[in-house]
Protein backbone atom coordinates (compact mmCIF):
# COMPACT_ATOMS: atom_id res chain seq x y z
CA UNK A 1 0.00 0.00 0.00
CA UNK A 2 1.07 3.58 -0.55
CA UNK A 3 0.45 6.52 -2.89
CA UNK A 4 0.15 6.00 -6.64
CA UNK A 5 0.40 9.06 -8.89
CA UNK A 6 -0.72 8.25 -12.43
CA UNK A 7 0.15 10.01 -15.69
CA UNK A 8 2.18 12.88 -14.35
CA UNK A 9 4.75 14.86 -16.31
CA UNK A 10 8.22 14.09 -14.97
CA UNK A 11 11.35 15.30 -16.77
CA UNK A 12 9.34 15.85 -19.97
CA UNK A 13 7.81 12.36 -20.02
CA UNK A 14 4.49 11.05 -18.76
CA UNK A 15 5.13 8.65 -15.88
CA UNK A 16 3.59 6.98 -12.86
CA UNK A 17 5.16 7.36 -9.44
CA UNK A 18 4.62 4.89 -6.62
CA UNK A 19 5.41 5.96 -3.07
CA UNK A 20 5.75 3.44 -0.30
CA UNK A 21 6.41 4.45 3.27
CA UNK A 22 8.36 7.68 3.17
CA UNK A 23 10.18 7.09 -0.10
CA UNK A 24 9.70 6.77 -3.84
CA UNK A 25 9.69 3.06 -4.61
CA UNK A 26 9.10 3.06 -8.34
CA UNK A 27 8.89 5.39 -11.31
CA UNK A 28 7.70 3.96 -14.62
CA UNK A 29 4.96 3.58 -17.17
CA UNK A 30 1.65 1.95 -16.29
CA UNK A 31 2.52 0.94 -12.73
CA UNK A 32 -0.17 -1.35 -11.33
CA UNK A 33 -0.06 -1.38 -7.54
CA UNK A 34 -2.59 -1.39 -4.77
CA UNK A 35 -2.50 2.03 -3.19
CA UNK A 36 -4.23 3.69 -0.25
CA UNK A 37 -4.26 6.93 -2.18
CA UNK A 38 -4.52 7.23 -5.97
CA UNK A 39 -3.77 10.63 -7.49
CA UNK A 40 -4.56 11.54 -11.07
CA UNK A 41 -1.46 13.40 -12.23
CA UNK A 42 -2.75 14.35 -15.67
CA UNK A 43 -2.34 18.05 -16.37
CA UNK A 44 0.29 18.22 -13.63
CA UNK A 45 4.07 18.02 -13.42
CA UNK A 46 5.97 16.37 -10.57
CA UNK A 47 8.90 18.39 -9.24
CA UNK A 48 10.99 18.09 -6.08
CA UNK A 49 9.57 20.12 -3.19
CA UNK A 50 11.41 23.26 -2.14
CA UNK A 51 13.65 23.76 0.88
CA UNK A 52 13.73 27.11 2.68
CA UNK A 53 17.24 27.18 4.12
CA UNK A 54 16.88 30.24 6.35
CA UNK A 55 13.81 31.55 8.10
CA UNK A 56 12.26 32.51 11.42
CA UNK A 57 8.86 30.91 10.95
CA UNK A 58 6.97 32.33 13.93
CA UNK A 59 7.75 35.85 12.73
CA UNK A 60 4.88 35.33 10.30
CA UNK A 61 2.94 37.02 13.11
CA UNK A 62 4.88 40.21 12.39
CA UNK A 63 4.22 40.52 8.66
CA UNK A 64 3.78 44.25 7.89
CA UNK A 65 4.49 45.15 11.54
CA UNK A 66 7.57 47.28 10.70
CA UNK A 67 8.81 47.96 7.19
CA UNK A 68 11.13 50.40 5.46
CA UNK A 69 13.68 50.73 8.30
CA UNK A 70 17.44 50.13 8.65
CA UNK A 71 18.34 46.73 10.16
CA UNK A 72 19.83 48.03 13.38
CA UNK A 73 16.87 50.28 14.20
CA UNK A 74 14.37 47.73 12.90
CA UNK A 75 15.72 45.10 15.33
CA UNK A 76 16.27 47.35 18.36
CA UNK A 77 13.22 49.62 18.18
CA UNK A 78 10.56 47.40 16.65
CA UNK A 79 11.28 43.67 16.39
CA UNK A 80 13.03 42.86 19.67
CA UNK A 81 10.54 44.85 21.84
CA UNK A 82 7.49 43.17 20.26
CA UNK A 83 9.12 39.74 20.41
CA UNK A 84 9.44 40.18 24.19
CA UNK A 85 5.62 40.16 24.29
CA UNK A 86 5.19 36.86 22.43
CA UNK A 87 3.97 33.92 24.51
CA UNK A 88 4.80 30.30 23.82
CA UNK A 89 1.28 29.85 22.45
CA UNK A 90 1.68 32.85 20.11
CA UNK A 91 4.85 31.29 18.73
CA UNK A 92 3.09 27.96 18.25
CA UNK A 93 0.38 29.64 16.14
CA UNK A 94 2.94 31.76 14.30
CA UNK A 95 4.82 28.61 13.32
CA UNK A 96 1.57 26.83 12.38
CA UNK A 97 0.75 29.79 10.17
CA UNK A 98 4.20 29.72 8.54
CA UNK A 99 3.94 25.96 7.92
CA UNK A 100 0.58 26.53 6.26
CA UNK A 101 2.01 29.24 4.03
CA UNK A 102 5.05 27.14 3.14
CA UNK A 103 2.95 24.09 2.28
CA UNK A 104 0.65 26.22 0.14
CA UNK A 105 3.67 27.49 -1.79
CA UNK A 106 5.46 24.17 -2.23
CA UNK A 107 8.02 24.17 0.57
CA UNK A 108 8.27 20.98 2.65
CA UNK A 109 11.44 21.63 4.64
CA UNK A 110 12.82 24.67 6.42
CA UNK A 111 15.75 25.74 8.56
CA UNK A 112 14.49 27.79 11.48
CA UNK A 113 15.99 29.93 14.24
CA UNK A 114 13.79 31.40 16.97
CA UNK A 115 12.57 31.13 20.58
CA UNK A 116 10.20 28.68 22.28
CA UNK A 117 11.33 26.14 19.73
CA UNK A 118 9.46 23.33 21.46
CA UNK A 119 6.29 25.14 20.32
CA UNK A 120 7.69 25.38 16.79
CA UNK A 121 8.56 21.67 16.86
CA UNK A 122 4.99 20.88 17.87
CA UNK A 123 3.68 22.95 14.94
CA UNK A 124 6.06 21.20 12.53
CA UNK A 125 5.08 17.78 13.84
CA UNK A 126 1.41 18.52 13.26
CA UNK A 127 2.02 20.05 9.82
CA UNK A 128 3.83 16.97 8.46
CA UNK A 129 6.72 19.11 7.24
CA UNK A 130 10.43 18.56 7.79
CA UNK A 131 12.46 21.12 9.74
CA UNK A 132 15.86 21.89 11.22
CA UNK A 133 15.19 23.82 14.39
CA UNK A 134 17.38 25.68 16.83
CA UNK A 135 16.99 28.04 19.79
CA UNK A 136 18.25 31.49 18.68
CA UNK A 137 21.05 32.23 21.11
CA UNK A 138 21.83 35.88 21.92
CA UNK A 139 23.90 36.69 25.02
CA UNK A 140 25.12 40.25 24.25
CA UNK A 141 28.31 39.31 26.16
CA UNK A 142 26.39 39.14 29.45
CA UNK A 143 27.55 36.15 31.47
CA UNK A 144 24.29 35.41 33.26
CA UNK A 145 22.35 35.76 30.00
CA UNK A 146 24.83 33.38 28.37
CA UNK A 147 24.20 30.74 31.01
CA UNK A 148 20.45 31.02 30.46
CA UNK A 149 20.83 30.85 26.69
CA UNK A 150 23.14 27.83 26.84
CA UNK A 151 20.60 26.15 29.06
CA UNK A 152 17.75 26.96 26.64
CA UNK A 153 19.73 25.74 23.59
CA UNK A 154 20.71 22.52 25.34
CA UNK A 155 17.17 21.95 26.62
CA UNK A 156 15.73 22.26 23.12
CA UNK A 157 18.28 19.82 21.68
CA UNK A 158 17.33 17.28 24.37
CA UNK A 159 13.64 17.90 23.75
CA UNK A 160 13.93 17.48 19.96
CA UNK A 161 15.98 14.30 20.34
CA UNK A 162 13.33 12.85 22.62
CA UNK A 163 10.65 13.47 20.00
CA UNK A 164 12.42 10.78 18.00
CA UNK A 165 10.86 12.11 14.81
CA UNK A 166 13.03 11.91 11.68
CA UNK A 167 11.32 15.04 10.31
CA UNK A 168 12.43 17.23 13.22
CA UNK A 169 16.17 17.74 13.55
CA UNK A 170 17.75 19.97 16.23
CA UNK A 171 20.53 22.34 15.22
CA UNK A 172 22.48 24.97 17.14
CA UNK A 173 21.72 28.55 16.21
CA UNK A 174 23.92 31.34 17.55
CA UNK A 175 22.18 34.46 16.20
CA UNK A 176 25.34 36.19 14.93
CA UNK A 177 28.86 37.24 15.89
CA UNK A 178 27.56 40.63 17.09
CA UNK A 179 24.95 39.22 19.47
CA UNK A 180 26.86 36.22 20.84
CA UNK A 181 30.08 36.45 22.86
CA UNK A 182 33.24 34.57 21.98
CA UNK A 183 32.55 32.21 24.92
CA UNK A 184 29.05 31.57 23.64
CA UNK A 185 30.32 30.79 20.15
CA UNK A 186 32.95 28.41 21.53
CA UNK A 187 30.28 26.62 23.57
CA UNK A 188 28.16 26.23 20.40
CA UNK A 189 31.08 24.73 18.51
CA UNK A 190 31.90 22.29 21.34
CA UNK A 191 28.28 21.25 21.78
CA UNK A 192 27.78 20.80 18.01
CA UNK A 193 30.85 18.58 17.79
CA UNK A 194 29.87 16.52 20.81
CA UNK A 195 26.29 15.95 19.64
CA UNK A 196 26.93 15.89 15.89
CA UNK A 197 24.66 18.85 15.21
CA UNK A 198 24.70 21.40 12.39
CA UNK A 199 25.19 25.09 13.20
CA UNK A 200 23.03 27.82 11.66
CA UNK A 201 24.20 31.45 12.04
CA UNK A 202 23.68 34.89 10.46
CA UNK A 203 27.00 35.95 8.98
CA UNK A 204 28.29 39.09 7.23
CA UNK A 205 24.82 40.42 6.54
CA UNK A 206 25.66 44.12 6.70
CA UNK A 207 28.72 46.29 6.16
CA UNK A 208 28.25 47.59 9.72
CA UNK A 209 28.69 44.06 11.09
CA UNK A 210 32.07 43.83 9.33
CA UNK A 211 33.23 47.30 10.39
CA UNK A 212 32.23 46.73 14.03
CA UNK A 213 33.98 43.36 14.07
CA UNK A 214 37.19 44.84 12.63
CA UNK A 215 37.06 47.61 15.22
CA UNK A 216 36.54 45.17 18.08
CA UNK A 217 38.75 42.23 17.09
CA UNK A 218 41.04 43.52 14.34
CA UNK A 219 39.57 40.83 12.10
CA UNK A 220 36.73 40.47 9.61
CA UNK A 221 33.83 38.22 10.76
CA UNK A 222 34.94 35.01 9.03
CA UNK A 223 38.57 35.52 10.08
CA UNK A 224 37.38 36.11 13.63
CA UNK A 225 35.37 32.87 13.61
CA UNK A 226 38.37 30.99 12.26
CA UNK A 227 40.63 32.52 14.91
CA UNK A 228 38.42 31.13 17.71
CA UNK A 229 38.40 27.74 15.91
CA UNK A 230 34.67 27.94 15.32
CA UNK A 231 34.98 25.96 12.08
CA UNK A 232 35.91 22.63 13.63
CA UNK A 233 36.79 19.78 11.22
CA UNK A 234 33.64 18.12 9.93
CA UNK A 235 31.34 20.69 11.52
CA UNK A 236 28.38 21.51 9.26
CA UNK A 237 28.01 25.29 9.35
CA UNK A 238 25.14 26.92 7.49
CA UNK A 239 25.60 30.68 7.26
CA UNK A 240 22.75 32.96 6.28
CA UNK A 241 23.50 35.99 4.07
CA UNK A 242 27.30 36.01 3.49
CA UNK A 243 27.08 39.30 1.64
CA UNK A 244 30.12 41.22 2.87
CA UNK A 245 32.87 38.67 2.24
CA UNK A 246 36.32 39.38 0.89
CA UNK A 247 38.38 36.88 -1.11
CA UNK A 248 40.25 35.57 1.92
CA UNK A 249 37.01 34.98 3.81
CA UNK A 250 35.55 33.10 0.84
CA UNK A 251 38.68 30.93 0.82
CA UNK A 252 38.27 30.21 4.55
CA UNK A 253 34.59 29.31 4.12
CA UNK A 254 35.42 26.96 1.25
CA UNK A 255 38.20 25.31 3.26
CA UNK A 256 35.72 24.50 6.01
CA UNK A 257 32.87 23.44 3.73
CA UNK A 258 30.52 26.18 4.95
CA UNK A 259 27.17 26.49 3.15
CA UNK A 260 25.86 29.97 2.33
CA UNK A 261 22.16 30.77 2.31
CA UNK A 262 21.18 33.51 -0.12
CA UNK A 263 18.14 35.59 0.97
CA UNK A 264 17.64 38.02 -1.91
CA UNK A 265 14.26 39.51 -0.95
CA UNK A 266 15.29 40.24 2.64
CA UNK A 267 18.68 41.58 1.51
CA UNK A 268 17.03 43.88 -1.01
CA UNK A 269 14.32 45.03 1.38
CA UNK A 270 16.78 45.85 4.16
CA UNK A 271 19.26 47.30 1.67
CA UNK A 272 21.93 44.98 3.08
CA UNK A 273 23.83 44.44 -0.16
CA UNK A 274 24.18 41.74 -2.81
CA UNK A 275 25.52 38.22 -2.35
CA UNK A 276 28.81 37.82 -4.27
CA UNK A 277 27.33 34.76 -5.96
CA UNK A 278 29.76 34.51 -8.89
CA UNK A 279 32.74 34.58 -6.53
CA UNK A 280 31.18 31.94 -4.26
CA UNK A 281 30.37 29.76 -7.25
CA UNK A 282 33.90 30.10 -8.63
CA UNK A 283 35.30 29.13 -5.22
CA UNK A 284 33.04 26.05 -5.21
CA UNK A 285 30.86 26.92 -2.21
CA UNK A 286 27.44 25.33 -1.81
CA UNK A 287 24.76 28.04 -2.00
CA UNK A 288 21.13 27.48 -0.96
CA UNK A 289 18.14 29.77 -0.86
CA UNK A 290 16.07 31.15 2.00
CA UNK A 291 13.31 33.67 2.52
CA UNK A 292 14.39 34.96 5.93
CA UNK A 293 11.32 35.91 7.98
CA UNK A 294 8.01 37.39 6.98
CA UNK A 295 9.04 40.51 8.89
CA UNK A 296 11.85 41.19 6.41
CA UNK A 297 10.62 39.57 3.16
CA UNK A 298 7.45 39.63 3.66
CA UNK A 299 6.57 36.27 2.13
CA UNK A 300 7.70 32.67 2.47
CA UNK A 301 7.05 31.86 -1.18
CA UNK A 302 10.21 30.17 -2.48
CA UNK A 303 9.04 30.53 -6.10
CA UNK A 304 9.22 34.31 -5.71
CA UNK A 305 12.56 33.92 -3.97
CA UNK A 306 14.02 31.98 -6.91
CA UNK A 307 13.05 34.78 -9.27
CA UNK A 308 14.47 37.47 -6.99
CA UNK A 309 17.65 35.41 -6.60
CA UNK A 310 18.33 35.34 -10.29
CA UNK A 311 17.18 38.86 -11.15
CA UNK A 312 19.19 40.51 -8.38
CA UNK A 313 22.39 38.81 -9.57
CA UNK A 314 21.75 39.67 -13.22
CA UNK A 315 20.90 43.27 -12.38
CA UNK A 316 23.91 43.70 -10.11
CA UNK A 317 26.32 42.12 -12.60
CA UNK A 318 24.80 43.93 -15.58
CA UNK A 319 24.81 40.50 -17.19
CA UNK A 320 21.75 38.36 -18.04
CA UNK A 321 23.81 35.19 -18.19
CA UNK A 322 24.56 34.94 -14.45
CA UNK A 323 22.52 32.65 -12.22
CA UNK A 324 20.34 30.91 -14.84
CA UNK A 325 17.01 29.28 -13.96
CA UNK A 326 18.33 25.75 -13.44
CA UNK A 327 21.01 26.93 -10.99
CA UNK A 328 18.36 28.86 -9.09
CA UNK A 329 16.09 25.83 -8.95
CA UNK A 330 19.03 23.72 -7.73
CA UNK A 331 19.64 26.20 -4.89
CA UNK A 332 16.11 25.57 -3.62
CA UNK A 333 16.31 21.79 -4.05
CA UNK A 334 19.48 19.71 -4.51
CA UNK A 335 21.94 22.19 -3.01
CA UNK A 336 19.81 22.45 0.12
CA UNK A 337 19.34 18.68 0.32
CA UNK A 338 23.16 18.35 0.22
CA UNK A 339 23.60 20.99 2.94
CA UNK A 340 21.19 19.22 5.29
CA UNK A 341 22.21 15.67 4.40
CA UNK A 342 18.76 14.80 3.03
CA UNK A 343 18.18 12.14 0.40
CA UNK A 344 15.85 14.34 -1.68
CA UNK A 345 15.98 17.30 -4.06
CA UNK A 346 15.50 15.12 -7.15
CA UNK A 347 12.63 12.76 -7.98
CA UNK A 348 14.30 9.36 -8.26
CA UNK A 349 13.59 5.84 -7.05
CA UNK A 350 14.88 5.38 -3.51
CA UNK A 351 14.78 9.05 -2.54
CA UNK A 352 12.52 10.54 0.12
CA UNK A 353 8.98 11.16 -1.12
CA UNK A 354 9.19 14.95 -0.82
CA UNK A 355 7.59 16.28 -3.98
CA UNK A 356 5.04 18.60 -5.54
CA UNK A 357 2.52 18.41 -8.31
CA UNK A 358 2.26 21.75 -10.08
CA UNK A 359 -0.83 22.61 -12.09
CA UNK A 360 0.12 22.84 -15.77
CA UNK A 361 -3.22 24.54 -16.46
CA UNK A 362 -2.22 27.52 -14.35
CA UNK A 363 -1.75 30.52 -16.67
CA UNK A 364 1.71 31.19 -15.17
CA UNK A 365 2.99 27.86 -16.50
CA UNK A 366 1.81 28.40 -20.11
CA UNK A 367 3.09 28.03 -22.72
CA UNK A 368 5.48 25.41 -21.46
CA UNK A 369 8.61 25.63 -23.64
CA UNK A 370 10.75 25.20 -20.56
CA UNK A 371 9.27 24.10 -17.23
CA UNK A 372 12.26 25.13 -15.09
CA UNK A 373 12.22 28.62 -16.62
CA UNK A 374 8.51 28.87 -15.91
CA UNK A 375 8.98 27.67 -12.34
CA UNK A 376 11.73 30.21 -11.61
CA UNK A 377 10.65 33.25 -13.63
CA UNK A 378 6.88 33.00 -13.80
CA UNK A 379 5.39 30.69 -11.17
CA UNK A 380 4.24 31.65 -7.71
CA UNK A 381 3.25 29.34 -4.90
CA UNK A 382 -0.32 29.12 -6.10
CA UNK A 383 0.80 27.01 -9.07
CA UNK A 384 1.26 24.15 -6.59
CA UNK A 385 -1.69 21.74 -6.46
CA UNK A 386 -0.40 18.85 -4.33
CA UNK A 387 2.33 18.61 -1.69
CA UNK A 388 3.81 15.36 -0.44
CA UNK A 389 6.38 15.20 2.34
CA UNK A 390 7.90 12.07 3.84
CA UNK A 391 5.32 9.98 1.97
CA UNK A 392 2.30 11.90 3.31
CA UNK A 393 -0.06 14.14 1.37
CA UNK A 394 -0.02 17.55 3.08
CA UNK A 395 -2.05 19.36 0.45
CA UNK A 396 -4.23 18.19 -2.43
CA UNK A 397 -6.28 20.47 -4.67
CA UNK A 398 -4.74 23.35 -2.67
CA UNK A 399 -6.60 22.30 0.47
CA UNK A 400 -4.72 22.06 3.77
CA UNK A 401 -6.33 20.78 6.93
CA UNK A 402 -6.98 23.38 9.65
CA UNK A 403 -6.37 26.45 7.50
CA UNK A 404 -9.37 28.45 8.77
CA UNK A 405 -8.58 27.88 12.44
CA UNK A 406 -4.96 28.93 11.95
CA UNK A 407 -5.97 32.22 10.31
CA UNK A 408 -8.52 32.91 13.05
CA UNK A 409 -5.90 32.37 15.79
CA UNK A 410 -3.29 34.50 14.00
CA UNK A 411 -5.74 37.39 13.81
CA UNK A 412 -6.54 37.08 17.50
CA UNK A 413 -2.80 37.45 18.23
CA UNK A 414 -2.61 40.36 15.79
CA UNK A 415 -5.31 42.21 17.75
CA UNK A 416 -3.34 41.62 20.96
CA UNK A 417 0.02 42.79 19.53
CA UNK A 418 -1.53 45.81 17.81
CA UNK A 419 -2.50 47.38 21.14
ZN1 LIG B 1 17.48 35.77 9.57
| Per-residue model confidence as pLDDT tens digits over 311-327 | 999 999 999 999 999 99
pLDDT at 159 over 90: yes
Please tell me the distance between residue 101's alpha carbon and the centre of ligand 1 in angstroms.
Answer: 18
58 and 39 housed in the same domain: no
CA 55 / ligand 1 centre spacing (Å): 6
For residue 412, the CA-to-ligand 1 centroid distance in Å is 25
Which contiguous run of DSSP H or E holds residue 25?
strand 23-28
Do 258 and 234 lie in one domain? The reply is yes
Distance 16 CA to ligand 1 centre (A): 39
Tell which residue, 295, 302, 236, 237, has the closest CA to residue 264.
302
Q: Check whether residue 179 and residue 131 sit in a common domain.
A: yes
Which residues, other chains included, contact 220 with Cβ-Cβ below 8 Å and sequence gap of 6+? 204, 210, 213, 214, 246, 248, 249
What confidence score (pLDDT) does residue 72 get? 82
263 alpha carbon – ligand 1 mean position (Å): 9
- Centre of ligand 1 to C-alpha 239, Å, is 10
Q: Mean per-residue pLDDT for 263-281?
A: 97
Per-residue confidence (pLDDT) for residue 132, from 0 to 100? 98
Distance between Cα 148 and ligand 1 center (Å): 22
Look at residue 374 in the predicted model and tell me its pLDDT: 98
Residues 361, 212, single domain; the answer is: no
Classify residue 331: in a domain, yes or no: yes
Domain co-membership, 322 together with 239:
yes
Percentage, residues of the chain above pLDDT 90: 97
| CATH assignment of the domain containing 31 | 2.30.40.10
Q: How far is CA 119 from CA 198, 370, 406, in A?
A: 20, 41, 15
| pLDDT digits 0-9 by tens, 336-362 | 999 999 999 999 999 999 999 999 999
Inside any domain, residue 408: no
Whether 249 and 286 share a structural domain? yes
Please tell me the predicted confidence (pLDDT) of residue 313: 98
**Same domain for 192 and 204?**
yes
Strands 199-203 and 259-262: unpaired
Q: Are 156 and 170 in contact (CB under 8 A)?
A: yes
Compute the distance from residue 52 Cα to the ligand 1 centre, in Å: 12
Same-domain status, 42 and 74: no
Helix (H) or strand (E) holding 125: helix 117-127
- Please check whether residue 79 lies inside any domain of the structure: yes
In the prediction, which pLDDT does 170 show?
98
* 55 and 39, same domain (yes or no): no
362-404 per-position pLDDT tens digit: 999 999 999 999 999 999 999 999 999 999 999 999 999 999 9
**pLDDT reading at 419 higher than 90:** no
* 270 assigned to some structural domain: yes
Average pLDDT over residues 194-223: 97
Distance 37 CA to ligand 1 centre (A): 38
Whether 251 and 182 share a structural domain: yes
410 in a domain, yes or no?
A: no
Is 419 within the bounds of a domain? no
How far apart are the CA of 240 and the centre of ligand 1, in A? 7
Q: Do 58 and 43 fall within a single domain?
A: no
Same domain (yes/no): 26, 163: no
Per-residue pLDDT tens digits for 61-92:
999 999 999 888 888 999 989 999 999 999 99
The domain containing residue 114 runs over which residues? 50-340
Question: How far is ligand 1, taken at its centre, from the CA of residue 296, in Å?
Answer: 8
Supply the CATH number for residue 258's domain: 3.20.20.140
Q: What is the pLDDT of residue 61?
A: 96
Residue 211 pLDDT class (50, 70, 90 cuts): very high
Number of structural domains the chain divides into: 2
Average pLDDT over the chain reads 97
pLDDT value for 126: 98
412 belongs to a structural domain: no
In a domain, 409, yes or no: no
pTM, two decimal places: 0.97
What pLDDT, on a 0 to 100 scale, did the predictor assign at position 109?
98
Amino acid sequence: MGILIKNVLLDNETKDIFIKGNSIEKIGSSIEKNADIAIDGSGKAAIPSLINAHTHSAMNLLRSFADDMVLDEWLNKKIWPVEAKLSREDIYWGAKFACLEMIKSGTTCFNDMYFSMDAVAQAVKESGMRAFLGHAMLDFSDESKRKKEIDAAQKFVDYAKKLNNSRIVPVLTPHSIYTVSREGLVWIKDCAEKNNLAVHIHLSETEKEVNDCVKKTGKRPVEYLESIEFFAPGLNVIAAHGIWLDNNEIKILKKHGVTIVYNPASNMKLGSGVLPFEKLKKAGLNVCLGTDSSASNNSLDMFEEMKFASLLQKSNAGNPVVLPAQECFDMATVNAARAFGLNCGKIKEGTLADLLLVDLNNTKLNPNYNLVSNLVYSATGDCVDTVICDGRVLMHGRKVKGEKEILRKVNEIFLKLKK
